[in-house]
Amino acid sequence: MTSKIAVIGFGNIAKAIITPLFDKKILNPKDFYCLVNTKKSLENIRNNYKYNINIFQANSKDSEIIWDCPVKILSVKPQQLKNIIELEKNKNNRNLLVSILAGVSLEKLIKRFPNHKCVRVVTNIPITIGKGSTGIAWGDEISENQKEAVRRLFENTSKINEFPEDLLDIFLALTSSGPAIIALIIEALSDGGLSGGLPKQLSEELVMDMILGTISLIRETNLTTTELKNMVTSPGGTTISALRVLENKSLRSALIEAVVSASNRSKEFR
């Protein structure tokens, strides 16, 4: 990656996206410029971040340099967006603005950043360890070279899916909220083991090994989830007894409604 990259808001998720690019030498820290809001964050990153980067505090005179970068990632909280003022005045440059803000629409971005071409990206926290899922919705007039530049930012640390914008909310519900749902399921199943007398830590390890093993089995054998379920459910056995309880407690419906609810909440941010 040769051209300069800027990040507006170098918080948790921005660090998760950018740090692996430094680690893998895809991006040189010298070509990276970022902006934070407070002096405290600026000093914290200067003193503790493992790379020496060009970092500025919002509204300082020096910080205007970030608007010269051809690719900017916008990574503030949605409620902080109102404080970001576009300083790129030259509409002919048509630099790229890649927003990772949950639920903020392309239409809203284009209004706030009229001198940029805008892209909406949804990614998730497993990107931190190179196992993320990233969804991209392109705005208008984005060249193939610019699309490649955006893909390069995410392809080393996540699987990329390109969508029409109206599918990003449900993508976000499944992949960004999903890790919390899975964590809750792991916790609850482990508590089941605990209730049966297993030590907490062992119970959690067993649950995680079982989930990883189940996913690998489905992927490696191309079994459908229904075929796998039928394979381990014998007449009058333990598994059908467990599944009966879950059907009775409407687990399936609760999970469907949880995903739909997260998607609807994302739409409310628009």
Ligand X SMILES: NC(=O)c1ccc[n+]([C@@H]2O[C@H](COP(=O)([O-])OP(=O)(O)OC[C@H]3O[C@@H](n4cnc5c(N)ncnc54)[C@H](OP(=O)(O)O)[C@@H]3O)[C@@H](O)[C@H]2O)c1
Provide the binding-site residues for ligand X, judged by CB under 6 A: 8-14, 35-38, 41, 58, 75-78, 80, 83-84, 100-102, 123-125, 176
Nearest approach in angstroms of CB 214 to ligand X is: 25
Q: What is the DSSP letter of 89?
A: -
Residue closer to ligand X, measured from CB, 96 or 172? 172
Residue closer to ligand X, measured from CB, 180 or 215? 180
Residue closer to ligand X, measured from CB, 4 or 120? 120
Nearest approach in angstroms of CB 37 to ligand X is: 3
**What single letter denotes the amino acid at residue 180?**
A
Nearest approach in angstroms of CB 168 to ligand X is: 11
Could you tell me the two tokens for 214?
Answer: 């189940």
Q: SS3 of 92, please?
A: coil
Q: SS3 of 207, please?
A: helix
**Per-residue H/E/C for 113-157:** CCCEEEEEEECCHHHHHCCEEEEEEECCCCCHHHHHHHHHHHCCC
The residue number with the shortest CB distance to ligand X is 11
Alpha helices in the chain (DSSP H): 12-23, 39-48, 106-112, 144-154, 168-175, 178-195, 200-221, 225-231, 238-248, 251-268
What is the side-by-side strand order in the sheet with 32-36?
54-57, 32-36, 5-8, 71-74, 95-99, 116-122, 132-138, 158-162
Residue closer to ligand X, measured from CB, 41 or 161? 41
Residue closer to ligand X, measured from CB, 73 or 203? 73
Nearest approach in angstroms of CB 121 to ligand X is: 8
**What single letter denotes the amino acid at residue 147?**
K
Nearest approach in angstroms of CB 98 to ligand X is: 11
